[in-house]
Amino acid sequence: MGLATTTRGLHAKVSSMAVVAVVAARVTFGRGIRDVTGPATEVDFMGYAEPSQTGGGLHFRLHARAMVF
């Protein structure tokens, strides 16, 4: 029983120190989104269709998102 009490007390001390460390630290972050869609027309299918067939439109746009801490 004494060991369990000691362990809980240690856990509480470590948790409170972690909270203090997080509050004391200054965190800078950034986020962004970018359209990375390729060309919409005259794209070769590189072996996935007839050699003379090319792309003629855009089905959906592709976006990249990033978050940096």
Query: pLDDT tens for residues 10-66?
Result: 445 555 555 555 556 688 889 999 999 888 777 777 777 777 777 777 888 889 999
Give me the torsion for CA of 5, 6, 8, 9, rounded to 10°.
110
Encoded tokens for 26: 């200054």
This prediction has a pTM of: 0.41
